[in-house]
Amino acid sequence: MKRLPVTLAVIVTLLVAVQPAAAGKTMTREERAKAALVNTQLGMTYMRQGNLPAARDKIEKALEQNPHTAETQMAAGFLYDRLGDDKKAVSHYEQAARLGDDNPDVLNNVAVYLCRKGDKKRGEEYFLKAAGSALYRTPEVAYANAGRCARDDGRLKDAEQYFRKALTIRPESPDALYQLADLQHETGNNLAARGFLQRYNAVAPASPASLWLGYRIESALGDTSQAQDFARRLKTDFATSEESGALLEAEQSRK
C-alpha cells in the first residue's frame, strides 16, 4: 500500500526575547518560563539543522526550567524520537498530550507518533479528538490521518469512513482522495477507485504513486489504452522511482 507521507507540525513558532538572570540571582517563575520557551525554540532550530547534540542540550535545559508546557514536552518527544529512544519519546509525547489536551495540533502530532509506532487505537482516538476541536483549522487532516491509522490496523471500513469525513469537510483534499482511490482499488471496487483518482488528478500534480495506482485501476477495469497511458507517463516522468520498477516487473510477468 502506497501512502502519502504524513508531515509533523512544529508548535512553537515565535522566539521570546529574554534577559539572562544576573549571576547568583534566582530566576522568577515567569523568567524561567520565558527562558524555557527560548531554549525550546533553539532546540527545535538545532534539530532542523541536524545538530542533535545541541538540540538535546537546549531541550533538556528547557525541561529543567519549565517542564509544564505542551510545547516543551512535544519538542522533547520530537528529539528523542529522532535519537531513537522510544521510551523517552513516548513519555514526553504522553505528557504533551496531557498538558495540551485542548490543543488539537498537539493531539494530532502525538497521534502521528503513536500510529507510526504501532499504538494505533490510541493514536486514532487522539486524531478524532483533534478533528472534533472547534479550534482546529484543518480537521480534514486529522480525519485523513485517522483513516490511515485505521487502515494500517486492518479496519478498512473505519478507514473509509474517516476518509469520507475528510472529504465532507474539504472535497478537494488530495490526501483523502488518493487514499480512497487506493482503498477502493484494494477492495476490488475499481469503478469507484477510478472516480476518486480522477478527482485527485484534478487537484494535485501527478506522482509516481498516483500514476502507478492509475495503471493498476485501469488494468483491472480492462481499459488497456488508459493503463498504457499511465504506464508511459510513469516510465517517462519518474523513470527511477520504485513505482516505475514495480511497473516493469508487472509488465514482465505478463509476457
pTM to 2 decimal places: 0.80
Which of 25-34, 41-50, 153-162 shows the lowest mean pLDDT across its residues? Answer: 25-34
Query: What's the pLDDT score for residue 25?
Result: 64
3-class secondary structure, 50: coil
List, for residues 104-142, the tens digit of each pLDDT value: 999 999 999 999 998 999 999 999 999 999 999 999 999
- Does residue 23 surpass a pLDDT of 70? no
What are the boundaries of each domain within the chain? 171-255
Helix (H) or strand (E) run with residue 143 in it = helix 139-152
pLDDT of 10 above 50: no
pLDDT attached to residue 252:
86
Mean residue pLDDT across the chain: 90
* Pick among 1.10.10.10, 1.25.40.10, 3.30.930.10, 1.10.10.60: CATH of 171-255: 1.25.40.10
Q: pLDDT tens, 222-231?
A: 999 999 999 9
> Does position 151 have pLDDT exceeding 50, yes or no?
yes
pLDDT recorded at residue 59: 97
Structural element, H or E, at residue 161: helix 156-169
pLDDT in the model for residue 9: 40
In Å, the largest CA–CA distance within the chain is 80
Q: What share of the chain is helix, strand, coil (3-state, %, to 5)?
A: 70, 0, 30
